[in-house]
Amino acid sequence: MLQRLPKQGGVGTAAASKCPVSTIIWILAAWVLLFQVYTTLYPPPTALTHPKNRVRSIIRYTEYEEPEFNRLPLPPNRNGKKRRPDYIEEFWSSSHKRQIYFPNKSSAIDPLTNNEDDRFYFHPGREWHDSQGRPIQAHGGGILYIPETRTFYWYGENKDGRTYHISKHSTARVDVIGINCYSSTDLWLWKNEGIVLKADERNVSSDLHVSKVVERPKVIYNDKTRKYVMWMHIDNANYSKASVGVAVSLKPEGPFKYLGSAQPHGFDSRDMTVFKDGDGTAYIIYSSEGNSELHVTVLAEDYLGFRNIMSRVLVHGYREAPAVFKHRGLYYMITSGCTGWAPNTALVHSAESMLGSWQLMGNPCVGGNEELRDTTFFSQGTFVLPLPGIPDMFIFMADRWNPYDLRDSRYVWLPLTMDGPADEPLEDVFEFPLWSRVSIHWYQKWKLPQDWDKVQI
């Protein structure tokens, strides 16, 4: 037996030559197979996964100007160090920063000024005027696209009133004025369609009374009833009613008829959104259990009530301001932390079903500087708009709240791209990296590609 043992040595030695050819072939085949499995699991950083190529794919879609914001040095904090402990405190006490994040009215995006060089450019954070030259009032909003007329409808809170506090420690507020609607075919020039759901000035017990809270309206179209359905957060001034309200209209331009409010399945609900899936199933997603988790509840067929299906997600996550979208059959949700009007870090979660489970993917904000990325570009998300005809590209819509003067809150719209596989494997699960990396890119100035709105869908 001992004599039969081959001597140590590599291929080509006398010992190896005694090895049957079939064994060598099997060994080679095993190596090839192993290599293939490895490269599938850990693709080399080329093609789509390489950060440089990601940037290139965005340039394909957008024209932009190099943001000088990126080069802003981090301002020293009070201890003279290069880092600051609290962005927010520093922001409110620094007029320099306020000028950066809320540039004055002279820099407004105004279609009436007819500045050809600036046409179609989005300037996150600048005042934005409608087709009549008035600042757009559509905060905490969302957009409904109607393919037949190729028209976008932007619904949001009209906060064009005086900012005040009902008590020393309460949050800043304005009286309810109503929900505004604007229409556009190019997403840049918006026509004011007026207040489509008006506040009630007389009836103190009405959900829409001026003293209440009516926030984050979102509209979806019901193909069966052919009605436009608006869901919104309904509350009283101290946010203890914690309900959702629903209104309905025969036309996107309203007027909407208010039908009432409820706590879905008896649970408190504050920041919310709705999402209509490709098969017509619609979901309402809201912060619940004192904002400690989100609930996903299936809406009734007519979208005017709830079905008996609800799922608790992001439990113990303390997330709000949900914005949901779908990409290649998978669901993505961007949320904020719960810090009132003050910005914080966005997170994106993904799931194979709206009811979960939802997996954490991380902070989607890229570009700019650390402060911008840590504060969702100094804003809070409200909606993600798919761009008809441009796959893999969306617009992330956010609010840059100004709690000193809420009517002067600004809009931060930025390109959101799905750029190849995620960088990291998902938490808790071992899966192939099928999930696209969600990236929201900071640009101080950017625009959509020319004629994007003429693409045949």
With contacts defined by CB under 6 A, name the span among 113-121, 144-152, 294-302, 335-343 that binds ligand GAL. 335-343
* Member of 340, 405, 427, 431 binding ligand GAL (CB under 6 A): 340
Q: Which residues of 278-315 are buried (b: 16+ CB within 10 A; e: fewer)?
A: eeeebbbbbbbeebebbbbbbbeeebbebeeebbebbe
x/- letters, 15..54, toward ligand GAL (CB under 6 A): ----------------------------------------
Nearest-approach distance from CB 251 to ligand GAL, in angstroms: 27
- Cβ(443)–Cβ(124) under 8 Å? yes
Rounded Cα distance between 390 and 336, Å, is 26
Pairing of strands 63-65, 139-146: unpaired
Nearest-approach distance from CB 184 to ligand GAL, in angstroms: 23
Is position 341 an interface residue for ligand GAL (rule: CB under 6 A)? yes
Nearest-approach distance from CB 153 to ligand GAL, in angstroms: 20
x/- letters, 138..157, toward ligand GAL (CB under 6 A): --x-----------------
Nearest-approach distance from CB 315 to ligand GAL, in angstroms: 19
The alpha carbon torsion through 87, 92, 93, 96 (nearest 10 deg) reads 80
With contacts defined by CB under 6 A, name the span among 2-10, 63-71, 334-342, 439-447 that binds ligand GAL. 334-342
CB nearer to ligand GAL: pick between 169 and 226: 169
CB nearer to ligand GAL: pick between 287 and 417: 287
Angle at 70 between CA 445 and CA 130, to 5 degrees: 25
Nearest-approach distance from CB 130 to ligand GAL, in angstroms: 22
- Cβ(334)–Cβ(317) under 8 Å? no
CB nearer to ligand GAL: pick between 109 and 321: 321
Coil, strand or helix: which one is 423?
A: coil
Nearest-approach distance from CB 340 to ligand GAL, in angstroms: 4
Nearest-approach distance from CB 330 to ligand GAL, in angstroms: 25
**Residue type at 434?**
L
Count residues binding ligand GAL (CB under 6 A): 11
Is position 227 an interface residue for ligand GAL (rule: CB under 6 A)? no
Q: Rounded to whole angstroms, what are the CA distances from 97 to 89, 303, 311?
A: 11, 43, 41
DSSP codes, 326-392: EETTEEEEEEEES-TTS----EEEEESSTTS--EEEE--EESS-HHHHHTTTTSEEEEEEE-TT-TT
CB nearer to ligand GAL: pick between 108 and 338: 338
CB nearer to ligand GAL: pick between 366 and 398: 398
* Member of 127, 130, 215, 371 binding ligand GAL (CB under 6 A): 215
Pairing of strands 445-447, 282-288: unpaired
Residue 301: φ, ψ to 5° = -55, -35
Q: Rounded to whole angstroms, what are the CA distances from 361 to 51, 383, 398, 418?
A: 17, 18, 19, 13
- Cβ(423)–Cβ(437) under 8 Å? yes
CB nearer to ligand GAL: pick between 270 and 373: 270
Is position 268 an interface residue for ligand GAL (rule: CB under 6 A)? no
* Member of 127, 271, 293, 453 binding ligand GAL (CB under 6 A): 271
Burial of residue 133 (number of CB atoms within 10 Å: 0-12, 13-18, 19+): exposed
Rounded Cα distance between 203 and 340, Å, is 28
CB nearer to ligand GAL: pick between 130 and 320: 320
Is position 171 an interface residue for ligand GAL (rule: CB under 6 A)? yes
* Member of 84, 123, 209, 216 binding ligand GAL (CB under 6 A): 216
Rounded Cα distance between 67 and 443, Å, is 6
Nearest-approach distance from CB 140 to ligand GAL, in angstroms: 5
Q: Which of residues 367-386 bind ligand GAL (CB under 6 A)?
A: 380
* Member of 208, 313, 321, 351 binding ligand GAL (CB under 6 A): 321
C-alpha 205, offset from chain centre: 34
DSSP codes, 67-121: -GGGGPPPPP-TTS-SS-S-HHHHHHH-HHHHHHHS--GGG-B-GGG--GGGTT-
Nearest-approach distance from CB 170 to ligand GAL, in angstroms: 9
With contacts defined by CB under 6 A, name the span among 13-21, 25-33, 298-306, 338-346 that binds ligand GAL. 338-346
CB nearer to ligand GAL: pick between 123 and 400: 400
Coil, strand or helix: which one is 242?
A: coil
Site residues (CB under 6 A) for ligand GAL? 140, 171, 215-216, 271, 320-321, 338, 340-341, 380
